[in-house]
Structure 1
Amino acid sequence: MKKPLLLTVAVVLILALGLGLRSHPLDLETLRGMLERLRDWQGANAPLVAGVFFVAYIGITAFSLPVAVWMTLAAGALFGFWWGLLIVSFASTIGATLAFLAARYLLRDWVQDRLGARADAVNQGLRRDGPFFLFSLRLIPVIPFFAVNLLMGLTPIGPLTFYLVSQAGMLAGTAVFVNAGTQLAQLDSLAGIVSPSLLVSFAILGIFPWLARLLLNTLRRRRVYARWTRPASFDRNLVVIGAGAAGLVSAYIAAATKARVTLVEAHLMGGDCLNFGCVPSKALIKSARVAHQMRHADRFGVAATEPQVRFADVMARVRRVIADIAPHDSVARYTGLGVEVLQGYATLIDPWTVEVALPDGSRQRLTTRSIVIATGARPVLPALPGLQEVGCLTSDTLWDALSDRPQPPRRLVVLGGGPIGTELAQAFARLGSGVVQIEAGPRLLSREDPEVAAAVQAALQADGVTVLVDHQARACGVTDGKKWIEVKHSGGIRRIDFDEIIVAVGRAPRLTGFGLEALGIRVDRVVETNDYLETLYPNILAAGDVAGPYQLTHVAAHQAWFATVNALFGGLKRFKADYRVIPWATFTDPEVARVGLSEAEARDKGIAYEVTRYGIDDLDRAIADGTAQGFVKVLTVPGKDRILGVTIVGEHAGDLIAEFVLAMKQGLGLNRILGTIHIYPTLAEANKYVAGDWRRAHVNPRLLALVERYHRWRRG
């Protein structure tokens, strides 16, 4: 029997039983009369009466019928306090668990689909605090018994946990009603049982677990701060260490909320993204794309020509782009916003004191209520013999090292097949370098699906990049003035000569030199934080690359909001960092953008999914623009339009993904995207077409047959 039919049967049965009970309303006099008749039978059949009563109680609670209170009173009157408490305690919990399981089977999937992405945060909280919520609800009699059973069935709380917590939580209330049943002859009304003072007592008892948890957290915090002397007053509300994406957003929010904030930066305002990462690399990629378009201009009816790449001018343009954007992140701008900016090296002296070593050799100490650590990350250099000898470059150092070169490196090795290495390999190849890209793993872009990596690798190879996957770097060196790298692969050992090597095998957070270790703050791969981005000390928080789990500029800014608000207003309200919908992009040509699960991740996690794929080669605007390559791939819940993940490969994929990011964040499905008007002709229509493909695959064939018959009838 399918769920909708089974649900309908259950609702009809419950309504019928409820109406039957309403036609024979219970009161104390009726209950006393029924019990008198039952006692005559009970004398000779006590075990049987107890067994029937036990089963009947389970059935009543399982069907959520509104007579459980009367049955509990009857248990006390028939069996006495201890036997009545034993029977009702177990029967009510078993019945409640059956109602819980029925709600889970019949309703949970439907409710979760309706909530969409919004259900993730609720589920996460209930997995952690569900037993506390359930225990509190069970202790408060004014909350309907059946409502708790049904609502908890919609949550991820486990059946065994539900049973045990319910057994314990309902015991006190059950005892009150069973005891009242033993005094049934003296009762005038139910109001005598559930008095206002009793309800207040149960409410206080219900919040006791939360008060106990709060007390434990308070004691734990005091223990952490015990060895430090807290200042009587503070110079600042917030000190932010690091002026990259996370630090700048933190300082901005603090200043906007009129907090006194100091921003400390040891190097360049704007951090890695402005000076070494996002901005310069995208400027380089644009120049490389222009060169590529010139080589292939004949595709558009224009004479193709080999571009004369003036590499020094390309790098000068990169510097101009940085300079043009720099005012957005400058000392002058942030000072104007109300932020005190100090250029220097910050060290934590204690949980409330930051010492800044200034350029003139002096030191300044600041006391602050809260601190946000946003010190960013640096490129990782592998333990590769000879790497320093050959003068390796990184994504941080290549801009200065190559800035005055009239030509790009003639022979360039890029070590690493992640987003940074792949973007730089393609860009330098298009600018005229002979590029060899070396990746130890089986494919480029290991976080993406194999078909995505294959599409990017094919594009790089078409641009002249020699891509070597499954090649393990063994050593570097210089022989007769010539630089080389030795790699191992299935075919043996291979030596590759080069003029320059760019190492792009990952980035590691900047963790040392800030006094974190002296304070006992754990710094393994990242600064250890909780869900609120708090470290061991709740007034010291971390955001951005230094906190993980993502090394993305937009995630750093996203985390900075949570860290700053919690730092400034955590005493009133704290917010957990939200990582439910995180998009990212790799700016190769074609671009790769993703949000949510990839197909490989869903498979590895055992998550059921359907795939809908639309080929951009069929899109009118892409055909007109000569960019008819790539695809949109959407993972959805089987049979539902709820989006689990989206991958886009193609022109402007990083822009196109935004519609799916919004949909997932707001719990909107593919039907909503299909029903949204998209301008023709645009690349964004690909999003609508993939939604249309999903819709066509999920048309009800019976409904189509019925419509066909209707049209045939209309034709006469």
Structure 2
Amino acid sequence: MAQETRFDLVIIGSGPGGYVAAVRAAQLGMKTAVVEKSSRLGGVCLNVGCIPSKALLDASEYYHLAKERFAEYGIKTGKVGLDLATMLARKDKVVEDLTENVRKLMEGNHIEVIHGLATLTAPGTVDVDTGKKKKLTLSAGNILLATGSEPLEVKGLTFDGEYIVSSTEALSFDSVPGRLGIVGGGYIGLELGSVWNRLGSMVTVIEMLPKIAANLDGQVGRTLDRILKRQGMQFKLDTRVVEATVSGKAVKAVLATGDKTETMTFDRLLVSVGRRPLTRGLGLEALAVETDERTGQIVVDQEYRTSVKGIYAIGDLVPGPMLAHKASAEGTAAVECMAGRAGEVNYDTIPAVVYTWPEVASVGLTEEQVREREIPYCVGSFPFSGAGRARCMGETDGFVKLISHGKTDRILGVHIIGPRAADMIAECVLALEFGASSEDISRTIHGHPTFSEALQEAAMHVRQCSIYAS
């Protein structure tokens, strides 16, 4: 007979959604268990996603600065060399430290951590294959699914883990590819393309749409395109990869643009066209948990309840942007709903960040969305070239763009491309949460000299429009 253990809540998955939900549940007095299939906690984000990619982005940026820009600051370094093995080892150490922090967080909150493959066998029952002869059976008042997502495979571009790869393998190349092809011009492709471009790869991004980072505000997207091209990245837009084959130690890719085709050869081909919910093996079909036939996402209500009583789902498994901070917010909200509290997520104020350099960050509506909805609006912008702090650092690319309602002046969206945009966006998220106006931002004193002054100046520019709005 399998061992049975009773919990108030069993969470499947220990990523940013799962572990945050577990801590909140423990704080609310729930006896909680987390089941994780991998040997380390933290999910995709900590192990093969957000954290290692940012570690490499920062490291590659330092390398680029030392090699290309230190001299203009009066810093003499001599010939700068790359020790890729050390760079990758540092990335791995960052990941190790943070996953260990999550383990200690679970331990400190008295959360049971079980490593193994979890399967739903009945409402309130989870079987866990821990690799031992007997499966472990857990029973719980509620079950929260937080298993995240996995890279999408494309027909004709099957991953082989060495030459045709997903983002996971692209974090650990043993050498800098001379020619790196990237299928997909979204956030992940642009970030990893930036890493290897700085380290010496000739990067070509192949995007089937007419623009990269299609979800960005159009003006911001066009600016990012120009800057990345100036940095050496190449883009083939309105183009799809028909097929790719490995020949020797290279990948030959057949590209189609309209009715024309061409063949390009790469040392590595990164396929980064999106992600899909990771639900395989969970047992959703046996319990008739409703999913969207088109996307594979689990259907949930406003309290993250699935179609089966006592089973909840969050993060990449459910509709909405596949972002770690969105999963964390949903994890907290779902657990609070279980506890009878008013847990909720404001999906209108979820920030998005692209960690290229310069960074891109946004929250709220784009100018295109405002026009589509026929909302009267005003736009204010300010270039970082006019900000003293940006001038001091030599980081003058980009601008802040603020969109407000033409009649009420309420802020509708903020879009930033420039230095430290990822950190600046927090003020904008707070402004949207509180229903602030551009005047509120413009009258708020910002430190000088700082990057955030550009936001204040953009807000002042909006006011020039709002005075005359009808």
Q: By the TM > 0.5 criterion, same fold?
A: yes
Give the SS at the match of 1:611.
Answer: strand
What CA distance in whole angstroms lies between the structure 2 residues aligned with 1:700 and 1:522? Answer: 51
Using the alignment, how far apart are the partners of 1:509 and 1:245 within structure 2?
A: 15
* C-alpha separation in 2, matches of 1:673 and 1:553: 28
Determine if contact 1:589/1:651 at 8 Å carries over to the other structure: yes
Say whether the 8 Å CA contact 2:250–2:268 is kept in structure 1: no
Q: Does the aligned pair in 2 maintain the 1:390–1:478 contact within 8 Å?
A: no
Q: Equivalent residue for 2:145?
A: 373
Partner of 2:395: 627
Alpha-carbon offset, residue 451 of structure 1: 2.3
Structure 1 residues 653 and 385, CA gap change in structure 2 (3 angstroms): closer
1:126-157 CA distance string (max 9 Å, x none): xxxxxxxxxxxxxxxxxxxxxxxxxxxxxxxx
Given the alignment, which residue of 31, 35, 58 partners 1:264?
35
Structure-1 separation of matches of 2:101 and 2:161: 38
Q: 2:47 aligns with which of 275, 280, 283?
A: 275
Aligned to 2:72: 299
Q: Deviations for 1:653-696, whole angstroms, at most 9, x for unmatched residues?
A: 11111111111101121222122221111111111111222234
Q: Hey, what's the Cα distance between the residues in 1 that align with 2:45 and 2:249?
A: 35
**Structure label with greater radius of gyration:** 1
- Give the secondary structure class of the aligned counterpart of 2:204: strand
Paired position in structure 1 for 2:231: 463
Give the partner amino acid of 2:314. Answer: A
- Which digits, 9 at most, give the CA deviation of each residue in 1:487-526, with x for residues without a partner? 0114721111111111111011111211111111112321
Query: CA separation in 1, counterparts of 2:30 and 2:378?
Result: 49
Q: How far apart, CA to CA, are the structure 2 residues paired with 1:347 and 1:538?
A: 16
Following superposition of structure 1 onto structure 2, how do residues 295-694 of structure 1 map, counting pairs within 5 Å? 295-303=68-76, 307-330=80-103, 332-384=104-156, 388=160, 391-400=163-172, 402=173, 405=174, 407-479=175-247, 482-490=250-258, 492-524=260-292, 525=295, 526-567=297-338, 569-570=339-340, 573-694=341-462
Distance in 1 between the 2:284 and 2:315 partners?
Answer: 16
Check whether the contact 1:533–1:577 (CA below 8 A) recurs between aligned residues.
no
Q: 1:346-395 deviations in whole A, cap 9, x for unaligned?
A: 11111111111112232111111111100100111111256649741111
Over aligned residue pairs, what C-alpha RMSD do you find? 2.1
- Give TM-score scaled by structure 2 length: 0.93
Contact 2:410 2:435 in 1 (8 A): yes
| Residue equivalent to 1:17 | none
Equivalent residues of 1:243, 1:265 under 8 A apart: yes
SS at match of 1:420: helix
TM superposition shift of 1:478: 3.1
In the superposition, relative to structure 1, how do residues 467 and 559 fare at CA in structure 2: closer, same or farther (>3 Å)?
same
Q: Which has the higher helix share?
A: 1
| CA distance in structure 2 between the partners assigned to 1:615 and 1:459 by the alignment | 14
Whichever residue aligns with residue 608 of structure 1, its letter is P
Cα shift at 1:640: 3.0
- Residues 471-480 or 555-564, more deviating: 471-480
Assess, with a 3 A threshold, how the Cα gap between structure 1 residues 482 and 247 changes in structure 2: closer, same or farther: closer
Give the number of equivalent residue pairs. 461
Distance 1:514 1:698 in 2: 53
Cα-to-partner distance string for 1:615-648 (whole Å, 9 max, x where unaligned): 1211111111101111111111113320011100
TM superposition shift of 1:258: 1.9
Which one has more relative contact order, counting CA pairs under 8 Å at least 6 apart? 2
- Specify every segment of 5 or more residues in structure 1 that has no aligned partner in the other structure, as ranges: 1-232, 702-716
Q: Give the letter aligned to residue 405 of structure 2.
A: V
2:57 to 258, 280, 285: 285
Structure 2: which amino acid aligns with 1:301? G
**Contact 1:617/1:628 (8 A) holds in 2:** yes
Gaps of 5+ in 2: none
CA distance in 2, matches of 1:638, 1:361: 67
Paired amino acid for 1:590: P
